[in-house]
Structure formats: C-alpha cells, structure tokens
Structure 1
Amino acid sequence: MARSSKKGPYIDKKLLIKVAKVKGPIKTWARASQIPPEFVGHTFQVHTGNKFVDVFINESMVGHRLGEFAPTRTFKGHGAIVKRTMDKT
C-alpha cells in the first residue's frame, strides 16, 4: 500500500547527511528508504541480511526503494529431472 501523500516519502535522515559528506560507497541497512534525486550518481552498499550489495543509483531509480535493487533471496533452480530406467531381469 502506498504511503500517504500528506506524510511525504520516507528518506533516512542519516543517508541524506552521508550523501552530502561521503564520496565513496555508503553502507546502509535502510532498505525501506526511498531514493530522492540527491542520491543519483552515488553508490550504496545495501544490506541483504547476510552481505552488502553494491547499488549504483541512476535517474530511473528515483522514487523506488533501496531494497528493490538488492535481492535477499537467491534462486538456485529447481531439481533436475532424473529419468529412471527399469532393468529387465
């Protein structure tokens, strides 16, 4: 469900401060934070639960959440189909 327009977007205040000061990658656990235009051109290291994923912000990502670009689950594929042969004895 969308956030109320009168409340405004959720943007982590610490991230806004770090974007103004830090030039390198910014490490964050705030996956729910929306991406404002000030973040464009910066690299964030978004936490996935067990590691950090580098996310470079471009203009098409503005308005989305940081967590959308750092998947938490890895799909390793379904099990292979094993054909069984019957021995005639």
Structure 2
Amino acid sequence: MSRSIKKVPFVSSHFLFQYLFESRSKVKPFFKSRSSTILPDFVGDTFQIYNGRSFFKAKISDAFVGKKFGELSHTRKSAVLKKARKLR
C-alpha cells in the first residue's frame, strides 16, 4: 500500500537538518535514515548510505526522485553457486 497523495513525503528531521547545514561543506553527509524519501532538491548530490555494515556512496539522479534511500543500498549478499566457487 502506497502513501497517500495528501501527505507530504517522509524525510527524517535529523537527516534534513544534517543535509541543510552540512551540504555547504565539502564533507559528504553520512546518514542511516533509509526510510526517508528522495526529494528533487537532492538531485546531483552524493550521499553515503548505511546498509547495516558499512557506508557506501550513492549519487542521486532524476530517476531516484520519489523512492526511498533504502532501495539504493542492498543489505543482503547475493548467493554464490558452488560451480562459481570451484572456478576461482
């Protein structure tokens, strides 16, 4: 079930505060708010998203607007087949 159109997109207040005040500096903001929605203001910026183990960089483009940050970072490893292991 999707979010109602009447409501505004969810963005964590801590994340928004961090983005507004740290985006002026050269340091890329680190954040763990995977449930926040990507806004059009974020296009062209690089964020460091936490996937439960480490941070990784993600550059936001127009295609990501309206999606969640959690969709960009995978939290699970992909399965490696036994045949692929033997070939190494």
- Both structures adopt the same fold (TM-score exceeding 0.5): yes
Moved over 3 A (4+): none
Choose 1 or 2 for highest CA Rg.
Answer: 1
Contiguous gaps of at least 5 residues in structure 2? none
The structure with more helix, counted as a fraction of residues = 2
Describe the SS at the equivalent of 1:60.
helix
Provide TM-score, normalisation by structure 2: 0.79
Provide TM-score, normalisation by structure 1: 0.78
Give identity over the alignment, percent.
32
Match of 1:31 among 14, 29, 34: 34
Q: Using the alignment, how far apart are the partners of 1:9 and 1:50 within structure 2?
A: 27
Contiguous gaps of at least 5 residues in structure 1? 82-89
How many pairs does the alignment contain? 81
What's the Cα RMSD here?
Answer: 1.7
Amino acid at match of 2:2: A
2:65 matched to 1:62?
yes
